[in-house]
């Protein structure tokens, strides 16, 4: 048994999105049914839909930045109630038994965490994401949206379910606090949220972007400095000046040059996912005991912690709200860097 809900789906990598009806399962005892109000567009949705990370499971309904209201809960659910405003991020299940899951790092589940869309879950079903009217998710993978946010904030809160935790995790892992010197590479959908969070943690933040086009925004988001990297002297001028560099861009960058920005023991945390292999000289790491660290979202406890932190500090993503018929066009705009700074779908427009 199942219910149906309106959604967007792509039949292939080259096909546009079509309005369809998709099935959502009837509730299991530990499930939560959510009426989706907002669904963010992440660049990874575009990579997946266009087959840039390997062949996707079509028809594909993307979306792992989901905010809505609880419609129904299973018989064993106690943490969520009908009417609660909640969110769902990049994952909808994990084994719950391995060391990573026990440590609250479900994203590194030894059995393989189940992505919110485009993957086969533990029951043999293909997950379908947030570009839809409703979703049914296991209760452990549903997070609470802080009441400090007004309803008018909710569209901007939605991208925090991916962009927020993706940037919060490496900042927390590095112990960022007052006086920490943080460089953020890229002021896009990820980078602008990283600047806001790092600044709220008390860090001295510098943005590295290709041009000065976003300088005013970067400083408004909390950065104390903004440098255009098209000026080739910038990276030499600031050599050894940072404790942490957060790389948010999805294209290749000259890693050796950026590693040179780090002080002794500094870390370059990579959250962007370029298609090509990363290239770095061993001497860039050996000198001054520098390191490159990979980072992938965060676990569910930390996702809730991030939301609470952002709610306390009034942090939301800066968004453009769009209707369901604009998604194909906005995929191109995201790729071309024309969106300031995340696109969020008004799911009330799904029915056409």
At 302-340, the pLDDT tens digits run 999 999 999 999 999 999 999 999 999 999 999 999 999
Residue 58: which pLDDT band, with cuts at 50, 70 and 90? very high
Closest CA to 244 of 189, 290, 190: 290
Mean pLDDT of the chain: 96
307 vs 276, higher pLDDT: 307
Tell me the CA distances in angstroms from 57 to 16, 49, 94, 194, one per residue in order: 15, 9, 20, 31
| Residue 150: per-residue pLDDT | 98
Phi-psi region of 118 (alpha: psi -120 to 50; beta: other; left: phi over 0): left
What is the DSSP annotation of 121-171? -TTSPBP--SSBSEEEEEGGG-EEPPTTS-GGGHHHHGGGGTHHHHHHHHH
Homologous superfamily assigned to 2-162+298-349 = Medium-chain alcohol dehydrogenases, catalytic domain (3.90.180.10)
Instruction: Identify the burial level of 35 via C-beta atoms within 10 angstroms of its C-beta, where 0-12 means exposed, 13-18 middle and 19 or more buried.
Output: middle
Q: How far apart are CA 335 and CA 342, in angstroms?
A: 12
Output the six-digit token pair for 37. 């109000």
**Whole-prediction pTM value?**
0.96
Coil, strand or helix at 287: helix
**pLDDT, tens digit, 9 for 90 and up, residues 136-152:** 999 999 999 999 999 99
pLDDT band of 47, cuts 50, 70, 90:
very high
State pLDDT tens for residues 278-307.
Answer: 889 999 999 899 999 999 999 999 999 999
Instruction: Please state, as a whole number, how many other Cβ atoms lie within 10 Å of the Cβ of residue 173.
Output: 15
Q: Where in the chain is the domain with CATH 3.40.50.720?
A: 166-294
In the chain, residues under CATH classification 3.90.180.10 are 2-162+298-349
Q: What is the CATH number of domain 166-294?
A: 3.40.50.720
How many of the other CB atoms lie within 10 Å of CB of 352?
A: 8
* Token pair of 28 as six digits: 């299991």
């Amino acid at each position: 048994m199942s219910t149906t809900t309106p959604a967007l789906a792509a039949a292939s990598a080259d096909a546009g999105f079509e309005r369809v009806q998709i099935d959502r399962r009837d509730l299991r005892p530990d499930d939560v049914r959510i009426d989706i109000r907002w669904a963010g567009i992440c660049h990874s949705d575009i990579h997946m839909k266009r087959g840039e990370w390997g062949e996707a499971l079509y028809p594909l309904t993307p979306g792992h930045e989901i905010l809505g209201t609880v419609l129904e809960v299973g018989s064993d659910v106690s943490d969520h109630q009908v009417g609660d405003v909640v969110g769902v991020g990049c994952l909808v299940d994990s084994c719950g038994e391995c060391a990573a899951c026990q440590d609250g790092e479900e994203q590194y589940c030894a059995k393989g965490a189940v992505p919110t869309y485009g993957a086969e879950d533990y029951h043999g079903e293909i997950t379908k994401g947030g570009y839809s009217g409703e979703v049914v998710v296991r209760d452990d993978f549903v997070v609470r949206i802080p009441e400090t946010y007004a309803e008018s904030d909710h569209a901007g809160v939605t991208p925090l379910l991916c962009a927020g935790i993706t940037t919060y995790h490496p900042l927390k892992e590095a112990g960022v606090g007052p006086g920490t010197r943080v460089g953020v590479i890229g002021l896009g959908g990820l980078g602008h949220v990283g600047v806001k969070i790092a600044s709220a943690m008390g860090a001295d933040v510098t943005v590295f972007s290709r041009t000065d086009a976003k300088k005013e925004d970067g400083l408004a988001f909390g950065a104390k400095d903004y440098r255009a990297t098209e000026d080739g002297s910038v990276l030499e001028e600031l050599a050894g000046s940072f404790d942490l560099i957060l790389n948010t861009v999805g294209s290749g960058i000259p890693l050796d040059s950026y590693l040179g920005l780090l002080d002794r023991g500094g870390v370059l945390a990579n959250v962007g996912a370029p298609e090509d292999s990363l290239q770095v000289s061993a001497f860039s790491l050996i000198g001054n005991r520098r390191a490159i660290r990979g980072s992938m979202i965060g676990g569910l406890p930390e996702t809730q912690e991030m939301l609470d932190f952002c709610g306390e500090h009034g942090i939301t993503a800066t968004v453009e709200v769009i209707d369901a018929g604009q998604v194909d066009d906005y995929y191109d705009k995201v790729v071309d860097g024309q969106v300031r700074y995340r696109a969020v779908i008004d799911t009330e427009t799904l029915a056409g």
